[in-house]
Chain A
Amino acid sequence: MRITCPYCGARSSHEFAYLGDAAPTRPDPSAPDAAEAFHAYVYERDNPAGPMDELWYHSAGCRRWLKVTRDTRTHAITAVAFAGTGEAAR
């Protein structure tokens, strides 16, 4: 599998480390329901059959965290952007 890093270009997936679903965002720790919200943030994941945004880390490259849109049925990667900023490519 190959991932086109917005910074480094197309690279083998061996250069990347996988984290998982990019959808959960860290909840407000001061909110009254923080315990429930953090439980969902840490443990609850969807398992979609189809396109999914995932976090990958270019550990053997530029060390950028990437948001990779991958179809879980075909492994086809349709988009890669920097995580956090959402910047696609320079």
Chain B
Amino acid sequence: MTRLAHGGLIDRGRTLSFAFDGKTFKGHPGDTLASALLANGVRLVGRSFKYHRPRGVVTAGSEEPNALVELRTGARREPNTRATTVELYDGLEAASQNRWPSLEFDALSVNRLVSPFLGAGFYYKTFMWPAAFWEKVYEPVIRRAAGLGRAADTPDPDHYEKATAFCDVLVIGSGAAGLAAALAAARSGARVILADEDFRLGGRLLSERTVINGGSALDFVASAQAELSSLPNVRLMPRTTVFGAYDGSEYGAVERVSDHLPAPLPFQVRQRLWRIVAKRCVLAAGAFDRPIVFPGNDRPGVMSALALATYATRYGAGAGANAAVFSTNDHAVAAALDAAEAGLKLDAVIDVRPALPDALAARAKALGVRLITEGEVVATSGKCLTSITVRTPRGSETLAVEALGVSGGATPNLNLTCHLGGKPVWREDIAAFVPGAVPPGMAVAGAVAGTFGLADILAEGTRLGAAAASDTGFAAAPAPAPQAESTPTGFKAFFHVKGQGTKGGPAFVDQQNDVTAKDVALAHREGFRAVELLKRYTTLGMATDQGKTSNMAGLAVMAELTGKGIPAIGTTVFRPPYTPVALGVLAGHHRGVDFKPARPTPTHAWAQAQGAVFVETGLWMRAAYFPKADEKDWLDSVNREVKATRESVGVIDVSTFGKIDLQGPDVGVLLDRVYINMFSTLAVGKARYGVMLREDGLVMDDGTTARLADDHYVMTTTTANAAKVYQHLEFCLQVLWPELDVCLASVSEQWAQIAVSGPRSREVLAKIVDGIDVSNAGLPFMGVAQGSVMGGVQARIFRLSFSGELGYEIAVPARHGAALMQALMAAGAPFGITPYGVEALGVLRIEKGHVSGNELTGQTCARDLGLGKMASTKKDYIGRVMAGRPAFTDPDRPSFVGFKPVDRSARLRAGAHFLKVGAAATTQNDEGYMTSTAFSPTLGHYIGLGLLKRGPERMGEKVRAYDPVRGGDIEVEVCSPAFIDPQGEKQRV
């Protein structure tokens, strides 16, 4: 056990039980999975990606490259979870990844023996030949060997949601700089959000023994948190990772609402996706502890020096029974001495510098910690670390230690500053990249800005927090910054231990992707020297940690090789997300049936009660057909519905059609300009079928528009194009012709509309109207009547026919839609009135030869559809000029006709292409294609509609309908698209 005797921000009074790889351990509230594992002496936590080398915890934060585990089990199993960010809870279960058969003994660790062949670029060099082997042999083997964790294989049982927050100042990070900035901004009255990915506010202050305002750093954190919590203008968001900066000062964040619990509480979400709209942002994301590249630096037990210190001071966990620190800078030495004070057995501090500041040297002496100056660690040994070899100008020696903390200085965590294209800039004085251009509205404070001394960090946070608030109109009297002693910030730029070859083991640059210093050297030899090439050739920085800790090491090694210095190599830019974001939280509620909203029609419940089978058309749920118990399949039901409509009367909800109300003195002018035919001449009380084009001359939509009064029309559009047509009309009115006096309103949702079709439809309608004359003379074909039905319900009755039968569409306010359907069913009962769905609707319109969505493809012009004669020559309209282009008037263009199979028992399929009989099936011989097909119960065989080259001139000709996808190849006869009642007599009776 390496739990220290006392101390740490853990609740030692309570014990939590958890399991790792099936073994049970104990931890405390306040632990992470990583700290609890270390406290239990578990140092080996995973196997590396390529070489299956044993690996341990190396950081104490979200930058962790190694300690990736599968968390939870069953449907909640979550792969590649960083043990360093998992808050311990009672009953937690985790498993190591990428090992077989076990973590202790991994068969694939033999990869290490062949590692000379697995170097950078080995995929490209090795698996070139034979090409056919790639998919069948190489890729499956590599995937099995290289995979990380396994995702759950059953649906996620948890809920996720999305939310938006607005604030004046967003502070990202709650360390010294973040707390100072939040306090300064909040005291001015600005709305402040303080977000931190940790479950506890404080950042590095939780791990270091510094003095602020005369008290401990922990006291400062507690008082700052208390003050911020007490202010109504502040929202504290711990467990919240701001993962992206976006245009318009928007930030994406994930709040881990329930990840610290075994399962979310009832009615609580697992995670919440935040869109934070912030007028100003202070980024106080701190810095990463930079690794040093040296032989054997990936052995379990070797970790970041600041992490080693954090585990000791914050978590009361020793990373080993004894430890040493290998450092280049004062900060790491001070943190290590803090850890020694907290009870970690720190045997030695090995520093590359010739001397340390007197204060630190004195502190080390007082604590009994040996100082080895001008020292470098050149080798390590043990499966988990047992000893290190230290080289100094005075000679070499071996130290027996179980943990080695390594610190090569600070790498500012500037990830978010790059998201809008900002490029980091090199600062030679601190040997680090700092933010260059930052997103608009963002300021950077503290270590991320390259400011390292605690007093300076607090002052900068205070200043930038106040400035951000002031920018948003909250100018407060400048509050004093929290006061602290100046912490030492001395360092030496040192990245890479050289001169020992590989005797001490491979020197890793990127532990997550198993990239070594040798791989970087290979990339250099082979010419992949630019940073973007280095990255892609070696995969450096391309793992799930995105190179947070490894990029700098790789750049430094390459810079040595080229002799040009780090700024000449450049740095890769960071893109969102900062850390991986689960797809579940990005989807939010939008999955399964809630993937998109559903629009039920006004008669939905009634149709459900009738046993309707529904189909989604856009967002709408429409009845497809109404099966009866004795029908063997859907076609039986559809045939019955069609026959009943043709022979007696059928009824269907057509509320889904778009309905647009147009009022004003200029409606007629507008309609004349958007439709190819005339509408200003339409008589009041009449409806007309219209076709509208896009400006490029292709058909946009069709529908009937009725004139209810001189200055009042109501337009119908197809279901699919309702929103598009409305937007188009608004464009015409606002952009093209703002002088027209017309008001538009979409009334699709306000009116229920039900079509009654069939020879008995007038008799049914007559029973429900309140004294409206529905005789042929009183309400002729294409006539419109307004009045009431069912004893006082406002109604519009349109005598229209999509089916070709005598028909009416009755519109009532939507809330009366279901009642209207029931009234029609009751009134029609003596005639056997039959509800029909969109399948039968389609059959009826194909039999009648009406065009629909299958024909209005956005690639057809009015002439193609046999509607060219409708086009007025007396006016201009949208699309007129472009529809006159030669290609659109070419007589060879495929045009709209009907088709019957020569063998009447044959099935037609939409999508079949037409060829001359005897012509080879080549693209050159293609003469068009079948757009719509249906079995016609009226005619007793399949019928089709389609576009055929010079179609209308070829009535009676036999052509080949060729459908290679489904093996169809039959002869069809060209005919009129109107299979029934071509003269249109039935609809006019």
Residues of chain A having any CB pair with chain B under 8 Å: 1-2, 12-13, 17, 19, 26, 29-30, 34-35, 38-39, 41-43, 55, 57, 59, 63-65, 74-77, 82-85
Find chain B residues with CB under 8 A from A84 CB.
734-736, 738
Q: Which of B255-263, B877-885, B891-899 contacts A (4 or more CB under 8 A)?
A: B877-885
Name the CB-closest residue of A to B723. Answer: A59
Find chain A residues with CB under 8 A from B735 CB.
55, 65, 83-84
Q: Are B730 and A63 in contact (CB under 8 A)?
A: yes
Q: Return the contact of A29 from the options B420, B723, B738, B881 (Cβ within 8 A).
A: B881
Q: Return the contact of B731 from the options A1, A29, A57 (Cβ within 8 A).
A: A57
Q: Return the contact of B881 from the options A34, A43, A57, A82 (Cβ within 8 A).
A: A34
User: A58 to nearest B CB, angstroms?
Assistant: 10
Q: Are B736 and A29 in contact (CB under 8 A)?
A: no
Name the CB-closest residue of B to A30. Answer: B876
Tell me the residues in window 391-435 of chain B with beta carbons closer than 8 Å to chain A beta carbons. Answer: 420-421
Name the CB-closest residue of B to A36. Answer: B881
Q: Complex formed: what's the CA distance from A35 to B876 in Å?
A: 13
Q: Are A85 and B738 in contact (CB under 8 A)?
A: yes
Find chain A residues with CB under 8 A from B249 CB.
2
User: B695 to nearest A CB, angstroms?
Assistant: 5
Find chain A residues with CB under 8 A from B248 CB.
1-2, 13, 75, 77
Can you report 12 residue pairs joining A to B where beta carbons are below 8 Å apart?
A2-B247, A26-B695, A38-B882, A57-B727, A59-B723, A59-B727, A65-B735, A74-B421, A83-B734, A84-B734, A85-B734, A85-B738
| Residue B277 is within 8 A (CB to CB) of chain A in the complex | yes
User: B550 to nearest A CB, angstroms?
Assistant: 31
Q: Complex formed: what's the CA distance from A82 to B730 in Å?
A: 12
Main secondary structure of the interface of B (DSSP, over half): mixed
Instruction: Given A1-B246, A29-B876, check contact A38 B881 (CB 8 Å).
Output: yes
Tell me the residues in window 371-409 of chain B with beta carbons closer than 8 Å to chain A beta carbons. Answer: none
User: A48 to nearest B CB, angstroms?
Assistant: 18
Instruction: Given A1-B248, A76-B440, check contact A64 B727 (CB 8 Å).
Output: no
Instruction: Given A17-B727, A38-B881, check contact A1 B250 (CB 8 Å).
Output: yes
Q: Return the contact of B277 from the options A2, A38, A82 (Cβ within 8 A).
A: A2
Instruction: Given A1-B246, A2-B249, A17-B727, check contact A82 B695 (CB 8 Å).
Output: no
User: A79 to nearest B CB, angstroms?
Assistant: 15
| Residue B696 is within 8 A (CB to CB) of chain A in the complex | yes
Find chain A residues with CB under 8 A from B247 CB.
1-2, 75
Name the CB-closest residue of A to B439. Answer: A74
Q: Which are the 3 A-B pairs with shortest beta-carbon distances?
A: A2-B248, A84-B738, A1-B247
Q: Complex formed: what's the CA distance from A26 to B246 in Å?
A: 35
Q: Complex formed: what's the CA distance from A39 to B888 in Å?
A: 14
Chain B 237-276 per-residue mask, 1 if CB under 8 angstroms from chain A, else 0: 0000000001111100000000000000000000000010
User: A53 to nearest B CB, angstroms?
Assistant: 12
Chain B 730-767 per-residue mask, 1 if CB under 8 angstroms from chain A, else 0: 11001110100000000000000000000000000000
Name the CB-closest residue of A to B877. Answer: A29
User: B342 to nearest A CB, angstroms?
Assistant: 47
Find chain B residues with CB under 8 A from A85 CB.
734, 738
Main secondary structure of the interface of A (DSSP, over half): mixed
Q: Are B250 and A82 in contact (CB under 8 A)?
A: no
Q: Complex formed: what's the CA distance from A2 to B275 in Å?
A: 12
Find chain A residues with CB under 8 A from B884 CB.
35
Q: Complex formed: what's the CA distance from A59 to B730 in Å?
A: 10
Name the CB-closest residue of A to B876. Answer: A29
Find chain B residues with CB under 8 A from A13 CB.
248
Q: Return the contact of B880 from the options A29, A63, A74 (Cβ within 8 A).
A: A29
Instruction: Given A1-B248, A2-B277, check contact A35 B730 (CB 8 Å).
Output: no
Find chain B residues with CB under 8 A from A26 CB.
695, 736
Chain B 421-458 per-residue mask, 1 if CB under 8 angstroms from chain A, else 0: 10000000000000000001000000000000000000
Instruction: Given A17-B727, A59-B727, check contact A64 B250 (CB 8 Å).
Output: no
Name the CB-closest residue of A to B727. Answer: A57
Tell me the residues in window 199-235 of chain B with beta carbons closer than 8 Å to chain A beta carbons. Answer: none
Name the CB-closest residue of B to A4. Answer: B248
Q: Complex formed: what's the CA distance from A59 to B881 in Å?
A: 29
Find chain A residues with CB under 8 A from B882 CB.
38-39, 42
Q: Are B734 and A41 in contact (CB under 8 A)?
A: no
With A2-B277, A35-B885, A39-B882 already in contact, 5 other A-B pairs whose C-beta atoms are closer than 8 Å: A1-B246, A13-B248, A57-B727, A84-B735, A84-B738
User: B82 to nearest A CB, angstroms?
Assistant: 31
Q: Complex formed: what's the CA distance from A85 to B735 in Å?
A: 8
Q: Complex formed: what's the CA distance from A83 to B460 in Å?
A: 45
Find chain A residues with CB under 8 A from B277 CB.
2
Q: Complex formed: what's the CA distance from A61 to B881 in Å?
A: 33
Q: Complex formed: what's the CA distance from A57 to B728 in Å?
A: 10
Q: Return the contact of B734 from the options A75, A76, A82 (Cβ within 8 A).
A: A82
Q: Complex formed: what's the CA distance from A88 to B353 in Å?
A: 64
Q: Complex formed: what's the CA distance from A65 to B881 in Å?
A: 25
Q: Are A41 and B695 in contact (CB under 8 A)?
A: yes
Name the CB-closest residue of B to A3. Answer: B248
Name the CB-closest residue of A to B695. Answer: A42
Q: Complex formed: what's the CA distance from A41 to B250 in Å?
A: 35
User: B588 to nearest A CB, angstroms?
Assistant: 13
Q: Are B250 and A57 in contact (CB under 8 A)?
A: no
Find chain B residues with CB under 8 A from A64 CB.
730, 734
Q: Return the contact of B695 from the options A34, A38, A77 (Cβ within 8 A).
A: A38
Find chain B residues with CB under 8 A from A82 CB.
734
Find chain B residues with CB under 8 A from A74 CB.
420-421
Tell me the residues in window 130-166 of chain B with beta carbons closer than 8 Å to chain A beta carbons. Answer: 164
Q: Complex formed: what's the CA distance from A29 to B734 in Å?
A: 19
Find chain B residues with CB under 8 A from A77 CB.
248
Name the CB-closest residue of B to A63. Answer: B730
Find chain B residues with CB under 8 A from A63 CB.
730
User: B295 to nearest A CB, angstroms?
Assistant: 46
Find chain A residues with CB under 8 A from B881 CB.
29, 34-35, 38
Q: Complex formed: what's the CA distance from A2 to B248 in Å?
A: 5
Name the CB-closest residue of A to B881. Answer: A38
Name the CB-closest residue of A to B739. Answer: A84
Find chain B residues with CB under 8 A from A55 CB.
735
Instruction: Given A1-B247, A2-B249, A30-B876, check contact A42 B727 (CB 8 Å).
Output: no
User: A22 to nearest B CB, angstroms?
Assistant: 8
Find chain A residues with CB under 8 A from B164 CB.
12
Q: Complex formed: what's the CA distance from A26 to B879 in Å?
A: 11
Chain B 865-891 per-residue mask, 1 if CB under 8 angstroms from chain A, else 0: 000000000001000111011000000
Find chain B residues with CB under 8 A from A19 CB.
731
Q: Complex formed: what's the CA distance from A75 to B277 in Å?
A: 16
Q: Complex formed: what's the CA distance from A34 to B730 in Å?
A: 24
Find chain A residues with CB under 8 A from B246 CB.
1
Find chain B residues with CB under 8 A from A12 CB.
164, 250, 275
Find chain B residues with CB under 8 A from A65 CB.
730-731, 734-735
Q: Complex formed: what's the CA distance from A31 to B926 in Å?
A: 38
Find chain A residues with CB under 8 A from B250 CB.
1-2, 12
Q: Complex formed: what's the CA distance from A22 to B735 in Å?
A: 10
Find chain B residues with CB under 8 A from A1 CB.
246-248, 250
User: B734 to nearest A CB, angstroms?
Assistant: 4
Find chain A residues with CB under 8 A from B731 CB.
19, 57, 65
Q: Complex formed: what's the CA distance from A35 to B882 in Å?
A: 7
Q: Complex formed: what's the CA distance from A41 to B696 in Å?
A: 9
User: B168 to nearest A CB, angstroms?
Assistant: 14
Q: Complex formed: what's the CA distance from A29 to B275 in Å?
A: 47
Find chain B residues with CB under 8 A from A41 CB.
695
Find chain B residues with CB under 8 A from A17 CB.
727
Q: Complex formed: what's the CA distance from A63 to B880 in Å?
A: 27
Q: Complex formed: what's the CA distance from A63 to B885 in Å?
A: 33
Chain B 694-735 per-residue mask, 1 if CB under 8 angstroms from chain A, else 0: 011000000000000000000000000001000100110011
Q: Return the contact of A57 from the options B420, B440, B730, B738 (Cβ within 8 A).
A: B730
Q: Complex formed: what's the CA distance from A51 to B28 in Å?
A: 57
User: A10 to nearest B CB, angstroms?
Assistant: 8
Q: Complex formed: what's the CA distance from A46 to B211 in Å?
A: 61
